[in-house]
Amino acid sequence: MNASDPPRPERSRGARGPRPARGERTVLAGARTALAGILAALVLAATACTAPPLNADAYLHDARQTTVDLLSAARTGILVAELAEDDRAFQPYLEVSAKDVEESARSLTDTFGALQPPTPELDGLRDELTDLSDATVHDLSALRIALRRGNADGVVEASEKLHETASALVDLRKELR
């Protein structure tokens, strides 16, 4: 330690300091506000802070988002199948990846299926998207099963079906834009 360095103060153990100055009271107030914000956010996050759509715009937004997310799951399945066909990845990784996107697609299906269409005119959209989400889940399940069994033909077949489902989802996404 150099002579020019300030002497190091003794460590205090929980000693009380003087009343904080104005700037420090600002820090304290800010800290309290931020802490309240964090706690509020945690509570809201715990309740998932989602609500069923209230009008047609909100329903269409949810339908659009579900379509995009299902397309993502289907395309992931296709990539996983290609990696399996080309033997470019180990079995555990392929199985886990297929399982994860299948679970994601299943969750999307359940969530969208629970939404109430706000008007009868949107029942057709609901039916179409529900069918596509069921198909996505089915195809991803088939892929997962084929991967786990080492069934190369099954992987190819699941991949082809996922291609068809993905095309249909792309078309629906264009309609919903």
Binding site for other proteins (CB under 8 A): 1-2, 4-6, 8-9, 11-20, 24, 27-28, 30-32, 34-35, 37-42, 44-45, 49-50, 65, 68-69, 71-72, 75-76, 79, 83, 88-93, 95-97, 100-101, 104, 170, 177
In whole angstroms, how large is the CA radius of gyration of the chain?
A: 27
Residues 81, 158: contact at Cβ < 8 Å?
Answer: yes
Q: Which residues contact 99 (CB under 8 A, 6 or more apart)?
A: 144
Rank residues 16 and 114 by Cβ distance to other proteins and give the closer one.
16
Burial 126-139, CB ≥16 within 10 A → b, else e: beebeebbebbbbb
CA-wise closest residue to 60 among 122, 149, 143: 122
Shortest separation between residue 120's beta carbon and other proteins, angstroms:
26
CB-nearer residue toward other proteins: 88 or 120: 88
CB of 162 to other proteins, least distance (A): 12
Nearer to other proteins, 43 or 123 (CB): 43
Q: Give me the least distance between CB of 163 and other proteins, in Å please.
A: 12
Task: Give the nearest distance from C-beta 128 to other proteins in angstroms.
Answer: 19
Q: How many CB atoms are located within 10 Å of the residue 60 CB?
A: 15
For residues 26 and 116, which CB has a smaller minimum distance to other proteins in the complex?
A: 26
Q: Which residues of 28-50 are buried (b: 16+ CB within 10 A; e: fewer)?
A: eeeeeeeeeeeeeeeeeeeeeee
Q: Give 17 or 120: the residue with its C-beta nearer to other proteins.
A: 17
